[in-house]
Chains A and B, each alone.
Chain A
């Protein structure tokens, strides 16, 4: 009898899934549940000219890709480090015109993902009236009915690859988020291919015991990679907090382009294995201090 296909791969196989010029969607929100290890692999592989979509808030995930010159075009409603400040590489790239920025909003992205997930070309959005975003956003069309009513519609967004991070999942690609799913499932439904990192692999038996806990089902997921602390320096919600000290260090390094290159050297290009990365950011003990323990 034929065996069910396992989707588990090793980290070294991840880079090969990406090609220059692809459209990618990044899950999570701001600096939470971001698939950071996968993003560092993309940077290391020297992938270029990406079009990047994200859940409505992004931070270091998009900022690293932009700073490393991997991005050509952006559909990112909000890029910042929240209370820690502006996103340095994003800001530089926008002000110097180095990257094509498409103004958009949560409704444009979610409407676009929803259209793709339903297999329809547009999704109506009533909530964009009056703003300059509607004026400048690419692809938004106003449709008029025979009796003169009009409605703005956003085009379907169907990324080549979605990259998402969940706290746990099984080897067949059933993912479980402990707290927030954000737009991860929405993107998974809209994308052609889905790559997920999880902090730990759990058994398929456990998944079957608690099917209501599955947040992104296996039929939507193509590849799973197990990376403990795979969201660092972002949080993995419910497991560990974002690493504020490291994020501040990133912002300090990134005040200049040269500084950012030194950051990449130290934490991205200069580390081959995941263990080296953990060592570089202060060791496992330090990372464990970010653990939430029983939090709710």
Chain B
């Protein structure tokens, strides 16, 4: 079955999500929301998906962030007094993407260029960067795998990854684990346990090591034997497509 890059990313992200966890993903953006909802239907029935509406059960998914229809059958609503408190307290995981992600898993959602003197491209900014500091771990993804998006060093640290690598998170007083994976259409990366550099964990079906290296803006840690990412199963694909009635992930 032919999968779109976004469908593949959702399926691979869902595999990283564990039963019983608490995350903020309801209504935030297509990919994070779909990934959490897919995990909940496949293997994580006790996953708590928080957002404007908590644990929603929509009949269909709509593309706009916070479209009211995505909160159908929610069990409760959350206002920003509560959002602030859980931001400070932390969750189990949060999902981020960006204009750039660097080899230490730092995410730039703000500016290409140098701030504040010369900004070439101004990104949207990020509503909540803090979950990356207080949540136990973060899951990263990029819908485009290129030298433009996977860079040696981000121009601006919007979301803290491993900062300058090694124990730099600890030096900044951050006690949580940081990014555990970075998923792209070509590969799944994790991070070297010592240096915290991005490491190729598996290569997605249809791509080679050469593809990955030629399209990455830094030298990732490259183990001797790199497995192929396990193919998406029929169950994963069918469950996802039954949720994505309007083909949001297929057509964009």
Q: Identify the A interface with B (CB < 8 A).
A: 29-32, 55-57, 76-80, 82-83, 86-87, 90-91, 94-95, 101, 103, 105-107, 110-111, 113-114, 125-133, 136, 179-186, 235, 237-238, 241-242, 244, 292, 295-296
| Interface: B87 (CB within 8 A) | yes
Knowing A83-B64, A182-B80 are in contact, say whether A107-B159 is a contact too (CB < 8 A). Answer: no
Knowing A130-B169, A186-B79 are in contact, say whether A106-B124 is a contact too (CB < 8 A). Answer: no
With a CB–CB cut-off of 8 A, which chain B residues contact A295?
Answer: 68-69, 72
Contact of A87 among B74, B90, B124, B126 (CB under 8 A): B124
Chain B residues numbered 109-149 whose CB sits less than 8 Å from any CB in chain A? 110, 115-116, 119-131, 133-134
Chain B residues numbered 57-105 whose CB sits less than 8 Å from any CB in chain A? 63-69, 71-74, 77, 79-81, 83-84, 87-88, 90
Can you offer 7 A-B residue contacts whose CB atoms are under 8 A? A29-B66, A57-B127, A78-B124, A107-B87, A128-B133, A186-B84, A241-B69
With a CB–CB cut-off of 8 A, which chain B residues contact A82?
Answer: 29, 63-65
Q: In the complex, A127→B128 CA distance in Å?
A: 10
- Nearest CB of chain A from residue B89's CB, rounded to whole Å: 9
Contact of B81 among A125, A132, A186 (CB under 8 A): A186
With a CB–CB cut-off of 8 A, which chain A residues contact B119?
Answer: 94-95
Contact, CB under 8 Å: A126 / B110:
no
| Interface: B223 (CB within 8 A) | no
Q: In the complex, A186→B29 CA distance in Å?
A: 24
Q: Identify the B interface with A (CB < 8 A).
A: 29-30, 52-53, 63-69, 71-74, 77, 79-81, 83-84, 87-88, 90, 110, 115-116, 119-131, 133-134, 156-160, 163, 168-169, 172-174, 252
Contact, CB under 8 Å: B156 / A106:
no
With a CB–CB cut-off of 8 A, which chain A residues contact B67?
Answer: 235, 241-242
Contact, CB under 8 Å: A83 / B252:
yes
Q: In the complex, A241→B124 CA distance in Å?
A: 22
Contact, CB under 8 Å: B134 / A130:
no
Chain B: which residue is nearest A292 at the CB level? Answer: B68
Contact, CB under 8 Å: B66 / A30:
yes
Contact, CB under 8 Å: A179 / B77:
yes
Contact of A132 among B68, B157, B173 (CB under 8 A): B157
Contact, CB under 8 Å: B63 / A83:
yes
Contact of B133 among A56, A130, A179 (CB under 8 A): A130
Q: In the complex, A136→B64 CA distance in Å?
A: 30
Chain B: which residue is nearest A136 at the CB level? Answer: B115
Contact of A180 among B77, B81, B127, B174 (CB under 8 A): B77
List 15 other contacts, CB 8 Å, given A186-B79, A241-B68: A29-B52, A56-B127, A77-B126, A83-B65, A87-B124, A95-B120, A95-B122, A105-B128, A106-B87, A106-B129, A110-B84, A126-B88, A182-B52, A186-B80, A295-B68
Contact, CB under 8 Å: B88 / A57:
no
Q: In the complex, A78→B123 CA distance in Å?
A: 9
With a CB–CB cut-off of 8 A, which chain B residues contact A103?
Answer: 110, 115, 125
With a CB–CB cut-off of 8 A, which chain A residues contact B157?
Answer: 130-132
Contact, CB under 8 Å: B129 / A131:
yes
With a CB–CB cut-off of 8 A, which chain A residues contact B77?
Answer: 179-181
Contact, CB under 8 Å: A133 / B68:
no
With a CB–CB cut-off of 8 A, which chain A residues contact B79?
Answer: 180-186
